[in-house]
């Protein structure tokens, strides 16, 4: 294939050794093989690809024959994962996709001997390039030019491509966010025309793209989701937020725009920067949904999130506004929060608070920032001193109270939480003798106080 002169403007693609060896082994056996898709795109942009996918003329059987360790990850779609030097590489046989059933999975997959056919089925021009050391870059649809111009453009006719698989409509927005690109005109028109079809796409696939968008650093592309009618289908909460208003102390009046400012601020919070992907996911969804306290659980369940994410985001959203209500007894307020969400989640709470405060007007923000820093330091002290913030840290346990004559169940549970409440107020009371005495007194009085310190 001819090398185009423009190509030199891009970083040279350097295949990882393992990929180069896999391609070589396939070629030696008489098959064509290329790195393809996201890894080629990212290499040309000078970004480190997350993973390297390989496309080949070899059938899955032949791929399995040529490599000693393989996993049938998606054998019906022609994908075999080759385990090579401690890492996995997806090797997929050239294929054509039939019509997409329910807009979910291609109804039929046909293998083809032609690389061109395999590239034609891919969603966008920038994702439809292949590379090998022998053949150089294969760019049949102007992917390099679109990379240069910063444009997301469908391979082929956008209406047809989105009709085949509506998820591509959301993927277009996701790539715009990740790459800071814009959508080509005809592609944009088709997105608007067919956004309603996203209804037919599985929530898991939608969630994956939405999460990538939120983690991209350009959450303002959520606005493009609204303009194209995507969010009306997959995240109506966002459209509602755009109608909402914020109070005096905020820099911006619109609730959705304030949320975007908070997300931008979140990306700069050191805790976020150091966090793992799963933790970042919890943080971004907490900020995104912080206004939907009543139905955050329902939204997350609708999106079929895992239980840990649902639990964490729900708890964090419920405490999101609490930094404004930390009263005079700050240490108590922090211990109380920790008892509700768990000590491990407190840094998450401080991170989203920091993001939220960054959206205040400067005069309000500086005061709030300094009290936040103070609260963070204070909470570290609380942890260091080992002050009790959960039943596990209480100096007495259920067994102790049963020995005093408490009945298991409601009475026992009530007494334990009353004692916890006492030590949340006064950590020095977390002593076995003190608490046993208190528990005895409750028993004698025949009543367990609900708020023992009031
Ligand atoms: P990322 O860096 O997020 O993984 P990616 O481009 O690798 O981006 P994937 O979802 O991993 O995206 O898909 C790999 C490749 O498969 C894409 O580059 C594209 O060529 C093709 N592809 C993925 N999903 C679709 C789709 N829904 N329709 C058509 N082609 C697709
Ligand atoms: Mg990928």
What residue owns the CA closest to ligand 1's atom 8? 38
Residue-level pLDDT at 240: 96
Q: What H or E segment, with its residue span, contains residue 395? A: none
Confidence of residue 105 (pLDDT cuts 50, 70, 90): low
The answer to whether residues 271 and 382 touch, using CB atoms and an 8 Å cutoff, is no
**127 CA from centroid of ligand 1 (Å):** 7
CA of 418 to the centre of ligand 2 (A): 52
Q: Candidates 123, 140, 152, 208: which one to mutate for ligand 1, based on the most atoms within 8 Å of Cβ?
A: 123
Q: Return the closest-CA partner of residue 358 out of 269, 230, 435.
A: 269
Q: Could you tell me the pLDDT band of residue 329, with boundaries at 50, 70 and 90?
A: confident
The pLDDT score that the predictor gives to residue 234 is 97
The ligand 1 atom nearest the CA atom of 178: 3
Rounded to whole angstroms, how far apart are CA atoms 147 and 152? Answer: 8
| pLDDT band at residue 5 under the 50/70/90 scheme | very low
What value, to the nearest 5°, has the Cα angle with vertex 410 and ends 404 and 416? 55
Task: Indicate which residue's Cα is closest to atom 12 of ligand 1.
Answer: 38
Q: How far is the CA of 122 from the centre of ligand 1 (A)?
A: 7
Q: What number is the average pLDDT over the span 238-256?
A: 96
Euclidean distance between CA atoms 63 and 57, whole angstroms: 10
196-216 pLDDT tens trace: 999 999 999 999 999 999 999
Q: What is the pLDDT of residue 181?
A: 98
Which tens digits make up the pLDDT trace of 373-397?
999 999 999 999 999 999 999 999 9
Neighbours of 80 (CB within 10 A): 25
Ligand 1 pocket, mutate which of 40, 116, 127, 190 (most atoms under 8 A from CB): 127
| pLDDT level of residue 13 (50, 70, 90 thresholds) | very high
pLDDT reading at 9 higher than 60: no
Asked if the model's pLDDT at residue 3 lies above 50, the reply is no
Q: What secondary structure, in 3-state letters, does 159-179 show?
A: HHHHHHCCHHHHHHHHHHHHH
Query: Residue 131: in which H helix or E strand, if any?
Result: strand 130-132
Q: Which of 78, 122, 214, 216 to mutate to test the pocket of ligand 1 (most atoms within 8 A of CB)?
A: 122
User: What's the rounded mean pLDDT across residues 246-254?
Assistant: 96
- Name which residue sits closest to atom 22 of ligand 1, judged by CA: 122
Average pLDDT over the chain, rounded to an integer:
93
When pLDDT is cut at 50, 70 and 90, the band that residue 100 belongs to is low
Residues with C-beta less than 6 Å from any ligand 1 atom: 37-38, 50, 53, 122-123, 127-128, 165, 167-168, 212
Q: CB–CB of 130/119 below 8 Å? A: yes
Q: Could you give the CA distance from residue 150 to residue 57 in angstroms, rounded to a whole number? A: 31
Of 224-233, 298-307, 326-335, the range with the lowest mean pLDDT is 326-335
Per-residue confidence (pLDDT) for residue 210, from 0 to 100 = 98
Closest ligand to 174 CA?
1
Half-sphere exposure (Cβ direction) of 353: Cα atoms closer than 13 Å:
25
Is there a contact between 68 and 36 (Cβ–Cβ < 8 Å)? no
Question: Given a cut of 70, is residue 99 above it in pLDDT?
Answer: no
Q: Could you read off the pLDDT of 435-446 as tens digits, one per residue?
A: 999 999 999 998
- Quick check: helix, strand or coil at residue 383? helix
pLDDT confidence tier of residue 268, bands split at 50, 70 and 90:
very high
Strand 151-152 to 182-183 pairing: parallel
Q: Name the maximum alpha-carbon separation found in the chain.
A: 93
Q: Which ligand is nearest to the CA of 212?
A: 1
For the stretch 153-207, pLDDT in tens is 999 999 999 999 999 999 999 999 999 999 999 999 999 999 999 999 999 999 9
Q: Dump pLDDT digits (tens) for 36-76.
A: 999 999 999 999 999 999 999 999 999 999 999 999 999 88
How many A from CA of 373 to the centre of ligand 2?
Answer: 39
DSSP annotation of 250 reads B
Proximal ligand: closest to the CA of 162 = 1
Q: By C-alpha distance, which of 221, 253, 252, 222 is closest to 239? A: 222
Q: Which atom of ligand 1 is nearest to the CA of 171?
A: 27
Between the alpha carbon of residue 142 and those of residues 122, 176, 303, the distances in Å are 13, 17, 35
- Which element (helix H / strand E) includes 260? helix 255-267
Name the band, by pLDDT with cuts 50, 70 and 90, for residue 287.
Answer: very high
Helices and strands, number each (H, E), in the chain: 23, 13
């Amino acid at each position: 294939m001819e090398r185009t002169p423009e190509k030199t403007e891009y970083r040279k693609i350097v295949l990882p050794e393992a990929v180069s060896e896999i391609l070589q082994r396939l070629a030696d056996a008489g098959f064509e093989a290329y790195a393809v898709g996201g890894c080629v795109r990212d290499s040309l942009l000078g970004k480190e690809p997350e993973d390297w996918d390989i496309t080949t003329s070899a059938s899955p059987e032949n791929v399995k024959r040529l490599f000693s360790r393989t996993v049938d990850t998606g054998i019906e779609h022609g994908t075999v994962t080759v385990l090579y030097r401690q890492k996995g590489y997806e090797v997929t046989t050239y294929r054509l996709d039939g019509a997409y059933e329910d807009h979910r999975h291609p109804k039929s997959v046909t293998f083809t001997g032609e690389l061109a056919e395999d590239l034609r089925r891919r969603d966008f021009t920038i994702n439809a390039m292949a590379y090998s050391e022998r053949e150089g870059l294969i760019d049949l649809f102007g992917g390099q030019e679109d990379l240069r111009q910063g444009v997301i453009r469908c391979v082929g006719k956008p209406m047809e491509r989105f009709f085949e698989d509506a998820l591509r409509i959301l993927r277009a927005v996701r790539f715009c966010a990740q790459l800071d690109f814009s959508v080509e005109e005809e592609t944009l028109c088709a997105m608007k025309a067919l956004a309603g079809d996203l209804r037919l796409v599985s929530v898991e696939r939608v969630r994956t793209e939405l999460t990538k968008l939120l983690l991209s650093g350009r959450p303002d592309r959520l606005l493009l989701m609204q303009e194209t009618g995507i969010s009306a289908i997959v995240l109506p909460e966002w459209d509602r937020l755009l109608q909402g208003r914020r109070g005096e102390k905020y820099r911006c009046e619109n609730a959705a725009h304030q949320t975007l400012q908070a997300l931008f601020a979140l990306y700069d919070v050191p805790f976020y920067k150091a966090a793992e992907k799963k933790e970042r996911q919890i943080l971004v969804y907490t900020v995104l949904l912080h206004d939907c306290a009543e139905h955050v659980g329902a939204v997350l369940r609708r999106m079929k999130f895992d239980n840990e994410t649902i639990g964490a985001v729900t708890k964090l959203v419920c405490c999101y506004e609490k930094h404004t209500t930390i009263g005079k007894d700050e240490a108590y307020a922090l211990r109380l929060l920790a008892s509700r969400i768990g000590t491990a989640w407190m840094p998450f709470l401080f991170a989203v608070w920091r993001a939220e405060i960054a959206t205040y007007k400067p005069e309000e923000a500086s005061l709030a920032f300094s009290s936040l820093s103070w609260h963070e330091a204070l909470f570290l002290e609380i942890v260091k001193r080992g002050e009790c913030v959960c039943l596990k840290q209480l100096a007495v346990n259920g067994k102790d109270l049963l020995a005093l004559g408490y009945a298991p169940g409601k009475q026992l549970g009530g007494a334990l939480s009353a004692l916890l409440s006492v030590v949340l107020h006064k950590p020095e009371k977390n002593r076995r003798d003190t608490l046993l005495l208190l528990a005895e007194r409750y028993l004698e009085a025949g009543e367990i106080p609900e708020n023992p310190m009031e």
